[in-house]
Structure 1
Amino acid sequence: MTDKTPVGPQIGNSADHFFQSDSDLVTQERRTAKRENKAGDPIECTSKVLCLVLSEKAEESEYAYIGESGFIAKRINLLTGKTTKVFKGHTGPVTCLGLWYKDNDEYLITGSWDKTLIKWNTKTKESIHTFVAHTDFVKSLAISHFASILYSGSSDNFIYSWNLVTGEQLQKFKGHSRGIEDLALDETETFLFSASSDGYIRKWNANTGECSHVFKGHLTSVYALKIFNEEMWTASADKTVKRWDLETGEPDTTLAHPDFVKCLVVIGPYVITGSRDENIRIFEIGNGDMINKFEGHFDEVACMAVRGITLYTGSLDCTIRKWSIAEEDIRTKTENKKSLQKSIPIKKEVNSSLLTEEEERELAELME
């Protein structure tokens, strides 16, 4: 008797859903049902939220700046949910942003898939300067406040440094074989760290562009990194978050997830992560236990930031949500704990195709 069990993804047979697999339809139905979820007091945005930074001015602590897939950046009042300023000028999704302060003035720096970065005066919304050199999507940036230097990372595999006052291009950092997903400076701003879709993290002299170490341990794209108390934390498409000893260059902690991890923050004894599976998880660093999970987003959690005892998260579901991370709220829910797994550094083979599977998926999602 012939086994007629279908093999591979099943295509929905409804006339309204041609070319969608059964799993795609299940995901779509689940997300539709979750749209009415008000967990996290959602702020509705006009397009997918890709990046988020909180104002550092004491008198503007209620404001955040966000970058959206709809080619714009915005300033949003986090208390009222209202958009107070819109920055228009990019011709592609705004994928990264940062704030720079000089002479009591605040400037917004945005990077885009249009291959450029723009410096804006946040009071007037005026575009002050456009930084042009990258030949592919700009995906990450970092700012040295001491030296007034901007660092930008791109899908062209390079990092550039720029004088924020004059706009002059300073250095070109070469070494990664795929796009630069995230950048971070250490506390002294002496060293720049870069996370790449080639699976590696590199440590650079921030002034000379010389690479002093390559961190190997993730199996595929590294999406995010944070430097905290002389430690480095990274998030990856290999479904893990790792903590690295910066002296030895080796990972000493691995936190397993069920899906790609897109963003993270480290707050005191906790590391908080955002994932493609739409959930936010809180882990206790000391023992590696997952002590809480916030559910509310109905698409990938793309970015997060913390002020005081409030966590703000942005998602491809076009919302920003806020969550209390006061001690009593963090420990309200304790089921589904996950233990640490010891990491084993493995060198991966680099795919020679133009885009990785993750990059192709990211492009498709952002252009929906």
Structure 2
Amino acid sequence: MQSSDPRNFFETDAEQATRKRRAAKAGNKYGNPIQLKSKILAAVVDPRSPSSAVLVAESAGAVRRVSLDDDGDVKTVYRGPTSPVCSLAVGGPGNRTLFAGSWDKCVWSWDLATKVAGRKFIGHSDFVKALVCAKVGGKDCLISGGADKKIIVWDIATGARLHTLKDDIVNMMSLQDLVVDHASSSEDEICLVSASSDPHIRRWKIRLDGWEQVVEDAPDAPGTERRTVLEHETTIYKLVFDYDSADVDLWTSSGDGTTKCLSRLRGFTADDTYDHGGHVRAVAVTGQWIITGGRDEDLKFWDRALGKLHCCLQGHFDEITDLVVLEASKGTPSRVCSVSIDGTVRTWPLDKAGLDALVEEQNKPAQVVEEEEAETGNAGLLSVDEEAELAALMEDDE
């Protein structure tokens, strides 16, 4: 009988310390965790329930709908891939189709309501790591980015490959994220922005009859050609446009440990920089907060008005991979949802009072917390055996 328990193999002192620390954190209840059985690599809001449900990409090779209401339902599963799913998008006519990019080099699709499998888009030669949907010239399109350094534009209705975008001058590495710049797009031409494992941000103009990479004057050196936006030192994981601001600036998160606001009025040069530390895998933006998460497992809330850190929240016990903002609804305020390699989906308040209450809770001495848990009968989410099993899972190779 084979075992994947890391305790049965040689471990360095650092590996042992990491495993024990994660096992110790695994039972915490911060963020009302919903525990899944596999690592979560990406998330998007379910457009049918934008205030109460998310769709998550699992390393087990499926997409799962997670209800964030009291029932915590996770039974709706979209199956097909046998390799990890690492990117998601929802689009197509009526916003009714779910798309998932997989390590098997394909993009899978399902009817969002019925879970019936649809077309499979085959064209990449490596992992499909980024997806976005857009309407170009009246046609519903899917745009995928892969570890093969290619961006492919697909006709959703026919499955035809319309364009393949590549930067042959400034070497483009594995794609990490894609986002449509609606402020610079028109009905017949969209502006796509891409992030990759190199530090360059690229902008593309896409039409039904062709495409081109945006090349413009460098804002700091007029007359000098600029093919890319270069404001980071290494991998850029996430791109988010701030539609709460009049200028619709671009926010980024990077492996250099920073999140930056790239000002549209200044030619997408850095206007504000927040030093999260470590690899910053995800960033979410609201009118009041900039929220960052990454390899250090912590969720950080930055006050936009003051330009400084408001609080740091613990909860996850492995790398945070994505953040999504949930809409407010009747009786439910807007929240932010975080997902992680630890297999948990957590939700956090966005009001200052709610955040401050969480900070106070997390700062309680351990003895006080244990006494309160004993009184309420909530002495941890997991048993000792479950914690050991979860710790072993966290150490498995992706």
**TM-score of the aligned structures, taking structure 2 as reference length:** 0.77
- Give, in angstroms, the shift of residue 331 of structure 1: 4.6
The answer for the alignment partner of 2:127 in structure 1 is 137
Q: CA deviation at 1:16?
A: 4.3
**Distance change (3 Å), C-alpha of 1:19 and 1:84:** closer
1:247-286 map, 5 Å: 247=265, 248-286=267-305
1:166 & 1:20 partners in 2: Cα distance?
51
Higher helix share: 2
Q: Give the distance between the partners of 2:395 and 2:148, measured in 1 at CA.
A: 20
Structure-to-structure mapping, 1:217-232, within 5 angstroms: 217-229=231-243, 230-232=248-250
What's the CA shift for 1:305? 0.8
Structure 2 residue aligned with 1:110:
100
For structure 1, the 5+ residue unaligned runs are: 1-14, 335-363
One-letter code aligned to 1:280? L
Q: CA RMSD in A?
A: 2.1
Query: How far did 1:147 drift?
Result: 4.0
Q: Provide the residue aligned with 2:84 in structure 1.
A: 93
Tell me the amino acid that sits aligned with residue 154 of structure 2: W
After TM superposition, the structure 1 = structure 2 runs for residues 1-368 of structure 1, keeping only pairs within 5 Å, are: 16=7, 19-57=10-48, 61-79=51-69, 80-103=71-94, 106-145=96-135, 147-175=139-167, 176-188=171-183, 189=185, 190-207=190-207, 208-212=210-214, 213-229=227-243, 230-247=248-265, 248-307=267-326, 308=328, 309-332=334-357, 333=359, 367-368=397-398
1:123 positional shift: 2.4
- Give 1:262 shift: 0.3
Query: For residues 242 and 366 of structure 1, what CA distance do their matches in structure 2 show?
Result: 32
Q: Residue 161 of structure 1 contacts residue 171 of structure 1 at CA under 8 Å; is this kept in 2?
A: yes
1:244 touches 1:250 (CA, 8 Å); kept in 2? yes
SS at match of 1:53: strand
Give how far 1:269 is off: 2.8
| Separation in 2, partners of 1:365, 1:169 | 38
Whole-Å separation in 2 of the counterparts to 1:366 and 1:118: 25
Distance 1:330 1:101, change over 3 A: farther
Q: Would the aligned equivalents of 1:69 and 1:366 in 2 still touch at CA under 8 Å?
A: no
Residue type at the aligned position of 1:238:
D
Structure 2: gaps of 5 or more residues: 1-5, 215-226, 329-333, 361-393
Q: What secondary structure does 2:354 align onto?
A: helix
Alpha-carbon distance, 1:90 to partner: 1.1
Query: CA 1:293–1:211 in 2, change beyond 3 Å: closer, same or farther?
Result: same
CA contact (8 A) 1:225 1:232 kept: yes
The question of whether the paired residues in 1 share the 8 Å contact of 2:92 and 2:141 is answered with no
Provide closer, same or farther for how the CA distance between residues 82 and 286 of structure 1 changes in structure 2, counting only shifts above 3 A: same
Alignment partners' CA distance in 1, 2:149 and 2:264: 23
Of structures 1 and 2, the one with the larger relative CO (CA 8 A, separation 6+) is 2
Contact 2:92/2:156 (8 A) holds in 1: no
Residue 306 of structure 1, CA deviation:
1.1
Contact 2:88 2:101 in 1 (8 A): yes
Q: CA contact under 8 A between 1:113 and 1:136: conserved in structure 2? A: yes
Query: In 1, Cα distance between the equivalents of 2:157 and 2:87?
Result: 20
* Percent of pairs with identical residues: 32
- 1:234–1:125 distance in 2 versus 1, CA, 3 Å: same
Q: Judging changes above 3 Å, is the alpha-carbon distance between structure 1 residues 17 and 130 closer, same or farther for their aligned structure 2 residues?
A: same
- CA distance in 1: counterparts of 2:250 and 2:239, whole angstroms: 7
Q: What is the one-letter code of the residue matched to 2:31?
A: G
CA spacing shift, 1:32–1:234, aligned 2, 3 Å? same
Whichever residue aligns with residue 250 of structure 2, its letter is M
Residues 4-58 of structure 1 deviation map (CA, whole Å, 9 limit, x = unaligned):
xxxxxxxxxxx94754222221111110100110111110112001111112225
Structure 1 CA distance for aligned equivalents of residues 295 and 98 of structure 2: 27
Secondary structure, aligned partner of 1:148: strand
> Post-superposition shift, 1:144?
0.8
Give, as a single letter, the amino acid of the residue that structure 2 aligns with 1:132: I
Cα deviations across residues 167-226 of structure 1 (Å, max 9, x unaligned)? 111111101521000010012442100011011110111324311141102111111111
Distance of 1:19 and 1:236 partners within structure 2 = 33
Q: 1:288 to 1:21 in 2, by over 3 A?
A: farther
**Per the alignment, in what secondary structure is the counterpart of residue 119 of structure 2?**
strand
